[in-house]
């Protein structure tokens, strides 16, 4: 399957998969019982399924885009390569992205579906917990990406002033 989003679209879909959809599912699953909102299980499960689908598309696009891309944790100037330690390594970032985009939403959707087939306990609590963890991980990855981009911009400015 050939899926390759451009930078602008990739960033928008990534934000949706890592932050918006998990936060929306968490918000609705938390406020639903408090305010008596309708179809809490169905809407939360649907959001998790859409998040899984979007995460898979982003994963495919990311793999196709990264062919030939260097390790993003290395900031290269004309003289040195500086390792930015608080930004995850390329391999760690890729694993965490896969966990946030595919594994956690997939686990939430999987448990949600099986809970109705096999009467597993507390589907709302389990799914809400998974989505909360996914939201936190998405925020961390978003922060790491923004800090990396700031470092890349600083490096460009530094190199241009030489």
Tell me what pLDDT residue 119 has.
Answer: 94
Phi, psi of 81, deg, nearest 5: -115, 125
* 28: confidence class by pLDDT, cuts 50, 70, 90: very high
* 43: confidence class by pLDDT, cuts 50, 70, 90: very high
The domain limits of the chain are: 7-161
**CA atoms lying within 13 Å on the CB side of residue 137:** 25
Q: Which residues have a Cβ under 8 Å from the Cβ of 2 and sit 6 or more positions away?
A: 64
Q: Are 22 and 105 in contact (CB under 8 A)?
A: yes
**Residue labelled with tokens 């062919």:** 67
Q: Are 135 and 26 in contact (CB under 8 A)?
A: yes
Least confident of 50-54, 138-142, 151-155: 151-155
pTM beyond 0.85: the answer is no
pLDDT in tens, 76-131: 445 555 444 567 888 888 899 999 999 999 999 999 989 989 999 999 889 989 98
């Amino acid at each position: 399957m050939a899926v390759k989003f451009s930078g602008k679209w990739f960033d928008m879909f990534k934000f949706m998969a890592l932050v918006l959809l998990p936060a929306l599912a968490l918000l609705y699953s938390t406020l639903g019982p408090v305010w008596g909102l309708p179809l809490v299980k169905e809407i939360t499960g649907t959001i998790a399924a859409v998040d899984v689908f979007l995460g898979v598309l982003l994963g495919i696009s990311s793999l196709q885009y990264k062919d030939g891309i260097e390790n993003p944790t290395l900031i290269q100037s004309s003289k040195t390569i500086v390792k930015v330690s608080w930004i995850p390594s390329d391999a760690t970032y890729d694993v965490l992205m896969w966990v946030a985009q595919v594994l956690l939403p997939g686990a939430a959707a999987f448990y949600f579906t099986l809970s109705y087939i096999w009467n597993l306990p507390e589907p709302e609590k389990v799914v809400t917990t998974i989505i909360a963890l996914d939201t936190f991980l998405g925020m961390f990855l978003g922060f790491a990406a923004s800090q990396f981009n700031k470092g890349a911009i600083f490096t460009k400015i530094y190199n241009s002033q030489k």
